[in-house]
Amino acid sequence: MKDNNNSTQHSCVDCGTQNCKFKTLTYPEFCPTTNLCDQDLQWALERYDQGRNHDIMVASAEVEYEGYCKWTRVQEIMEFARKIGAHKIGIANCIGLINEARIFARILRANGFEPYAVICKVAGKAKTSLGIPAKCEEIGAAMCNPILQARLLNQAGTDLNVVIGLCVGHDSLFYKYSEAYVTTLVTKDRVTGNNPAAVLYTAQSYYKKKFAL
């Protein structure tokens, strides 16, 4: 909802109550919950009965509950996979995180899963062959190929795909073309050692000048 005094459209990040998780307290005037169209809510609820969406929601809630503050992300992924009956686990990884992908694959095998990985540089096509500016080849000539990664994992018949460090945007294309459900194990951040939340934690201190906060 837009503030009458300016053109800013307020959303959940502007809320100071987070009362939507209690359902019984007051909400700000712009709250998406109180301004919700019944048709939108009904549309979303109906989608949970389509395909395997309900199974995914139940498994997700159970993993959150059973492993709350106890399980690592790696363990959560494996427990989630078991609950949805996923045995063949696709790995879409960045070439820069091949060691992490190998370790994850070993963990999966040790726990009874069948990992199958496709690296980002698969096919080895030059960036300029796709019309990407030549300057981009200064940090590596071969293009990342997230759409092909998704296609090859689709052909492999993976039950669940896991992203390990795909670049911003490349991950978007992978999510779009993956036929299996996708979860993310590692989010790449070359500056913070793949801990992008570090920037948010230090936004009021070390990173304050960079973001002009």
DSSP secondary structure string for all residues of 184-207: EEE---TTTTS-THHHHHTTTTTT
The tokens for 82 are: 């078991």
Instruction: Classify residue 42 by its DSSP letter.
Output: H
Give the Å distances, CA to CA, from 152 to 28, 98, 183.
Answer: 47, 18, 17
**How do strand 181-186 and strand 88-93 relate by DSSP bridges?**
unpaired
**Beta-bridge mates of residue 182:** 161
Looking at the chain, list the stretches that DSSP marks H as alpha helix, in order from N- to C-terminal side: 38-47, 53-66, 73-83, 98-110, 146-156, 170-177, 197-201, 208-211
Q: What is the pLDDT of residue 22?
A: 73
What are the backbone dihedrals phi and psi of residue 130, each rounded to the nearest 5 degrees, phi first?
Answer: -105, 5
Q: What is the pLDDT of residue 213?
A: 62
Q: What is the pLDDT of residue 211?
A: 79
Q: What is the pLDDT of residue 129?
A: 97
Q: Does domain 87-199 have CATH number 3.40.50?
A: yes
Question: What are the residue boundaries of the structural domains of the chain, listed by start?
Answer: 1-36, 87-199
Residues in the chain predicted with pLDDT less than 50, given as ranges, are 1, 3-4
Q: What is the pLDDT of residue 23?
A: 62
Give the Å distances, CA to CA, from 31 to 24, 25, 38, 40, 98.
Answer: 14, 12, 14, 15, 43
